[in-house]
Structure 1
Amino acid sequence: MSKTEQSRQKKLAKKRKKEVAKRKQLAAEKNAMKSIVGQISAAQRAPIIGCYVANGLLDNERSDEIGGVTVGRPLPDGRVVFVCFLVDKACLGVKDAFARLVTPQQFSEQVSQFSSRDPMTKCDPTLAKKLVTDAVDWAGRFGLKPMGDYQRVSRIWQDVDETACEQEFLFGRDGVPCYIQGPNDSPELVHRVMNTIGRHLGDGQMPILVTDDDIEAMEDWEEDDEDYPGDEQRNLRLDQPE
């Protein structure tokens, strides 16, 4: 084989190697886009297009509020990674977290739908992230970890510096966790949460539990004019008799 032919073969081999590497890279990127982690990673290349917080979460006079924080970031193909955190300022920190892949129109519709049930305000991502991370840190003091898919979807704003926000947020009732039982919260979950909190509270402190029965009683009380007994009857551990 002549030197010219050898040179040509080397160039062809080098070209084929580059083509194979490129195909592998494209295949890897395509496979990555099938997972939420890959979608969020791709979305991080673009700026956040919308960040919204439930109004009640921004009111420190309502430190036991539960509400949503939503974030949207576009993909190169035009779709939007939509992430939602359900923030529980009363007790759990983050009660749920999930991500969806939607169109820009669906993103707007989803925000409008959430806001129709619980009014939301568009805000700077630094404020929203600080609210969420402060809630997680506060709940963590009582042994509670963020729920849902928090660890994965929180990467949506990995590049956002929440320390740039100076706003402070209050949590719990006078700083004490108040677990407000949701309609889908199982007795096992309630038991586990209350006992976890109880093990981390100081001497003489007890977690507060508000059950479905309490909520119904408060609703009935609002219709009547009788004195409502209040939370003092619910300051108990579930492993202790009432």
Structure 2
Amino acid sequence: MATNIAQKRARKAQRRKQVVAQKRRAEELEASLPARVRRAAALPIQGCLLTEALFEGGIGTLVLARGATPHHVALSSYLLDTFCLGIKDVTFEFVEGEYFQFYVNTMSAMSPMMSVDPGYARKLLRDLAAWSRSIGFAPHRDFATVERIFGDVSVDGIDAVFPFGRDGKPLYIPGPVIPELR
């Protein structure tokens, strides 16, 4: 009889471990980048900004922000190289509205930014990713995931043609070499 009770307790403990592990996996999935982007894609667009001189200088930033209130914003940012490398970096995070304003002001101080239609921005990203892939440069590893923040923004009706490369040819411009800190 005592062994029967011990077996029941062991089975109950095993089931509890499975439930706890399953809850932990579900929490990790909810905190994952795809889940956070999916939640953000349902929020209203707060702004979509692009570096004004993107095609003249070949490098710039695209920012898309979504949020139900201006106090809490889902910020996605894309570092673009229209001369050669395509989508070099992608970031996504939930930030306070004050930080978002600071970020936009800082970016605009380095290079003026202009407001663009989200459909135009999405088409730019997709076209740049396709062009850079065609010359051998894949977009940043998080691009496909973070690009989903555009949600149901359509590129239909956007007939913009973007001038990638310099004079139609890829031009690689090396960035500064930053010594490794040890």
TM range (shorter): 0.7 to 0.9
Deviation of 1:69 after TM superposition, in Å, equals: 0.1
Structure 1 gaps of 5+ residues are 1-23, 187-242
Q: CA RMSD in A?
A: 2.7
Contact 1:66 1:90 in 2 (8 A): yes
TM-score w.r.t. length of structure 2: 0.76
Letter in 2 for 1:128: A
Contact 1:95 1:148 in 2 (8 A): no
Q: Which has the higher strand share?
A: 2
Q: How much identity, in percent, do the aligned residues show?
A: 33
Letter in 2 for 1:155: R
**Is the counterpart of residue 123 in structure 1 residue 116 in structure 2?**
yes
Deviation of 1:163 after TM superposition, in Å, equals: 3.0
1:93-136 CA-partner distances (Å, limit 9, x unpaired): 11111112201221121111111111100111011111111111
CA distance in 2, matches of 1:43, 1:176: 37
Cα distance change of structure 1 residues 33 and 111 upon mapping to structure 2, 3 Å threshold:
farther
Partner of 2:103: 110
Alignment of 1:80-159 (within 5 A): 80-159=73-152
Contact 1:66 1:88 in 2 (8 A): yes
Deviation of 1:79 after TM superposition, in Å, equals: 2.6
Contact 1:32 1:39 in 2 (8 A): no
**Equivalent residue for 1:39, pick from 20, 36, 44:** 36
1:50-101 CA-partner distances (Å, limit 9, x unpaired): 11000012x5xx2x5100000111269x632111111111001111111122
Deviation of 1:148 after TM superposition, in Å, equals: 4.9
Alignment partner of 2:91: what SS? Answer: strand
Deviation of 1:33 after TM superposition, in Å, equals: 4.3
1:145-186 CA-partner distances (Å, limit 9, x unpaired): 102521221111142112332221101122211111111489
Letter in 2 for 1:126: G
Aligned residues: 157
Contact 1:81 1:102 in 2 (8 A): yes
Cα distance change of structure 1 residues 82 and 33 upon mapping to structure 2, 3 Å threshold:
farther
Contact 1:39 1:75 in 2 (8 A): no
Alignment partner of 1:49: what SS? Answer: strand
Contact 1:130 1:163 in 2 (8 A): no
Partner of 2:4: none
Partner of 2:11: none
Partner of 1:53: 50
Alignment partner of 1:163: what SS? Answer: coil
Deviation of 1:32 after TM superposition, in Å, equals: 4.1
Structure 2 gaps of 5+ residues are 1-21
Partner of 2:168: 175
Partner of 1:17: none
Larger radius of gyration: 1
Does 1 or 2 have the higher relative contact order (CA < 8 Å, sep 6+)? 2
Cα distance change of structure 1 residues 184 and 102 upon mapping to structure 2, 3 Å threshold:
farther
